[in-house]
Amino acid sequence: MENSLEVKNLCKKYNGFELKNVNLSLPKGMIMGLIGENGAGKTTTIKSILNVIKRDSGEINIFGLDNIKDEKKIKSDIGVVLDDSFLSEYLTPKDISKIMKNFYKTWDENLYFQYIEKFKLPQNKISKEFSSGMKMKLKIATALAHKPKLLVLDEPTSGLDPIARNEILDIFQEFIQDEEHSILVSSHITSDLEHIADYITFINEGEIVFTKTRDELLEEYGVLKCAEEEFKKLDKKDYIKFKKNKYEYEVLVENKNEFRKKYDFGVIDRASIESIMLIYIKGEK
Amino acid sequence: MNIIISNSSNVPIYEQIKEQIKSKIISNELKVGEMLPSIRSLAKDLRISVITTKNAYEQLEKEGYVETIPAKGTYVANKNVEIIREEQLQKVEQLIDTVVNIARVSNISKDEIKSMLDILYEEE
Amino acid sequence: MKEILGLIIKDCMTLKSYMKTIIFMIILFSVCMYINGDVTSFMPVYIPLFFGILAMSSFSYDNISKSDKYLHTFPVSKKDVVKARYLYVLLITFVGSILGFLLTIFIALINNKVNFNFESVLSTLLGAVCGISIFQILQIPIMYKFGAEKGRMIQIVLVVALMVIISVAISMMNGFSLNMLEKYGVVIGCVAIVLLYVLSYKISCKIYEKKEF
């Protein structure tokens, strides 16, 4: 399977924060969710991929090309949504099309206004008067109208109500109906990604903890809840990390079925991405 | 075609899809040669990951229920319905065998088993 | 080239939201001049100056919506972003100068009291444009270096300083006409300003290339 994005050993010191040897690969036709706490390095990784900040070392290939050497060519095929940055809020959706068509040869005005209509955005109102859900939809329409092959989104669902989030997830799945398309999306709202992401990459303190397919993560990982005496019977190599709570131990295990064959105490639940993240960050070994 | 997925079930989602499509093939709701929805559109409509649907289709293919023609789509394979039925029948026989064995050991009568079966069928 | 056009259009369209204020200011200036009757030293100075400073608001607009980061995700080089900004600032200043000149003539024609001298209007305008140019040559790299927030504070100081210098220069030029100035002096002055603009642009590029958003 060809990759649309490949990051190898990316290092970057930035604002008192450090990315350490970040590795990622996103196959064509797939959605990758980048998860982690605020400040874990999601945005810095995305900014390095887009060469908005210059990497210190490592390699970043997009569509098989170096992201600095072939920057212009690559960027014509990427659509970007940034959490906190867009064109001025004093512009209307109509103005935005007039501006954007100068930047992208492939800008499709009809497609843009189709999205604007689909998202029920008023064409002639300045976006300052939009709700946050509408603003996000405007950003997404703008990112899609030049028919990119790769969509990179930083926190597109934060601050949105469940209905708007749901609509945005729909847009993502619609986008990857084309097998050449792929999406890299960062979010700290893990439940959004739990459904639609094909790969989940977990980043913590500037380092990648793991990349797994959604199925591996949700069908195999498990959280064991047990008493202290039971926990003491566990072999260290049979679990990833544990968290000691007031009334129980929460233990993250890599394969709940294998684990069950060996131990028969406690209860094992399917691990949600949130609980995996939580035990990784707060837990101990 | 209905496919119903439970997110809280312990059965993996790809397994749920696989079993449901399989039962539709066996019951002839999905006919031989009929095209299944594409991996991507099924993922979208079920609001699940592409890899999950891909997984389900791959397993169905391995068991011979469907056939994938590259760049065209996935179709219900020309697996003999009689053979499938035969397979299922064998499975049932095996299970009944176990039931009978347990019943004999525990002194449960044939009539009791029959009435149990009647109750189970009525429940449905 | 098309990218640069896009960037200039972006700045012009953002200015649209400011239109009411701009029109109000122009009317205010016109009324002031009509009442005052002093054509040569008011209108051709304040209208271009107002536009020259107005053009700088593009930095603030970008700052509020953090547009720079977003622009860098486009297939647009940092150099083009800086180039477009300079061209935009020059364009707005040029529009302001023409408008100042035309309004001066218009008001002079409808107000007979006004003592009108075509050449002195032109020389005042030229002086004002020089002053604004020097302000922009200094201010644009400052905006890039220190950002729109701090840059604006520095701008206030710079504007006041330049106003003082310009009014002193104008009072010294009083009674002179363009003919009396050395022809070559004007040419050398223009060439010097163009060169300074180029230098200012190069410095801004250097600053901007190093910046991370």
| pLDDT at site A1 | 59
Q: Which of C101, C93, C87 is nearest to C53 (CA)?
A: C93
CA distance, residue B90 to nearest chain A CA (Å): 28
Inter-residue contact C33 to C107 (CB < 8 Å):
yes
Given this model, what pLDDT does residue B7 score?
A: 77
**What is the 3-state composition of chain B as percent helix, strand, coil, each rounded to the nearest 5?**
60, 5, 35
More confidently predicted of A189 and A29: A29
Count of domains for chain A: 2
A198 and A119 part of one domain = yes
pTM (predicted TM-score): 0.85
Q: Is the pLDDT of residue C156 over 70?
A: yes
Q: Are residues A67 and A99 both part of a single domain?
A: yes
Mind listing the pLDDT tens digit for each residue in B72-112?
A: 888 888 876 677 778 788 888 999 999 999 988 888 888 88
Strand arrangement, sheet containing A222-226: A241-244, A249-253, A222-226, A267-270
Shortest CB distance from A196 goes to which of B14, B41, B47? B47
Tell which wins on pLDDT, C17 or B38: B38
- Label residue C174 by pLDDT band (50, 70, 90): low
Cβ neighbours of A176 in B, within 8 Å: 40, 50
Residues of A within an 8 Å Cβ radius of B:
29-31, 169-170, 173-174, 176-177, 179, 195-199, 213-215, 219, 270
B105 or C189, greater pLDDT: B105
CATH number at residue A102: 3.40.50.300
pLDDT, residue C114, reads 58
- The pLDDT > 90 percentage for chain A reads 58
- From A29, A30, A177, residue closest to B44, measured CB to CB: A177
Domain boundaries, chain B: 13-76, 81-122
pLDDT at residue number A173? 92
Predicted local confidence at residue A238, as pLDDT: 81
Alpha-carbon distance C53 to A118, whole Å? 41
pLDDT at C187 over 90: no
| Angle ∠(A151,A157,A160) on CA atoms, nearest 5 | 145
Partner residue facing C69 (CB), from A85, A89, A103: A85
Q: What's the pLDDT score for residue C12?
A: 93
**Residue of chain A whose alpha carbon sits nearest to that of C19:** A90
**pLDDT at residue number C112:** 65
Please give the share of chain C, as a percent, with pLDDT higher than 90: 38
Structural domain count, chain C: 1
For residue B3 the two structure tokens come to: 């496919």
- Do residue A124 and residue A53 come from a single domain? yes
Chain A CB contacts of C76 under 8 Å are 103
Q: Closest chain C residue to A52 measured between Cα atoms?
A: C72
Note down the domain range covering C195.
2-209
Around Cβ A181, how many Cβ atoms within 10 Å?
22
User: In terms of CATH architecture, what is B13-76?
Assistant: Orthogonal Bundle (1.10)
**pLDDT (tens digit, 9 = 90+) per residue, A56-104?**
999 999 999 999 999 999 999 999 999 889 999 999 999 999 999 999 9
Which is more confident, A222 or A15? Answer: A222
What is the tens place of the pLDDT at every residue in A151-200? Answer: 999 998 877 888 888 888 889 999 999 989 999 999 887 888 888 899 99
ipTM of this complex: 0.88
The pLDDT, as a whole number, for residue A283 is: 82
**Which chains share 3+ C-beta pairs under 8 angstroms with A?**
B, C
Residues A85 and A162 both lie in one domain: yes
Q: Residue B47: list chain A partners with CB under 8 A.
A: 169, 173, 195-196
pLDDT in tens, C101-147: 888 888 877 776 656 677 778 878 888 888 889 889 999 999 999 98
Instruction: Tell me the CA distances in angstroms from C115 to A93, A98, C86, one per residue in order.
Output: 49, 46, 36
C5/A88 Cβ within 8 A: no
Tell me the DSSP string of B31-73: PTTPBPPPHHHHHHHHT--HHHHHHHHHHHHHTTSEEEETTTE
Q: Quick one: A205 and A234 in the same domain?
A: no
Is pLDDT at A255 greater than 70 in this prediction? Answer: yes
pLDDT higher than 80, residue C42: no
- What value does the mean pLDDT of chain C take? 85
Closest to A90 (Cβ–Cβ): which among C14, C69, C73? C14
Averaged over A33-40, what is the pLDDT? 90
Q: Are residues A227 and A126 in the same domain?
A: no
Instruction: Please indicate whether residue C84 or residue A244 has the higher confidence score (pLDDT).
Output: C84
Amino acid at position A214, single letter: R
- Contact present, C93 and C136 (Cβ < 8 Å): yes
Q: Say how far apart CA C12 and CA A178 lie, in whole Å.
A: 37
Q: Does A111 touch chain C (CB under 8 A)?
A: no
Whether A244 contacts chain C with CB within 8 A = no
Q: Are residues A135 and A209 in the same domain?
A: yes
**What pLDDT score does A106 carry?**
95
Helix (H, G, I), strand (E, B) or coil at C123: helix
Mean pLDDT of B67-72: 84
Residue among B12, B41, B47 whose CB faces A177 most closely: B41
Burial bucket for residue B84 (CB in 10 Å: 0-12, 13-18, 19+): middle
Distance CA C130, CA A112 (A): 44
Name the packing angle between helices C2-15 and C78-110 (round to 10°): 50
Coil, strand or helix: which one is A11?
strand
Residue C194 confidence class, pLDDT cut points 50, 70, 90: very high
Which pLDDT value is given to residue C175?
53
A100-109, A248-257, B83-92: segment of lowest average pLDDT: B83-92
So what's the pLDDT on residue C110?
79
CB C77 within 8 A of CB C41: no
d(CA C196, nearest CA chain A) in Å: 29
Give tens-digit pLDDT for C1-31. 889 999 999 999 999 888 888 999 888 888 8
Of A29, A176, A215, the CB nearest to B52: A215
Would an 8 Å CB–CB cutoff place A24 in contact with chain C? no
Range of the domain at A264: 221-282
Residue C180 has pLDDT above 60, yes or no: no
Both tokens assigned to C129:
């444009």
Chain C residues within 8 A of A95 when measuring between CB atoms:
13, 16
Q: List the chains bordering chain C where 3 or more Cβ pairs fall under 8 Å.
A: A
The residue among A161, A184, A216 that closes a domain is: A216
For residues A211 and A235, membership in a common domain is answered with no
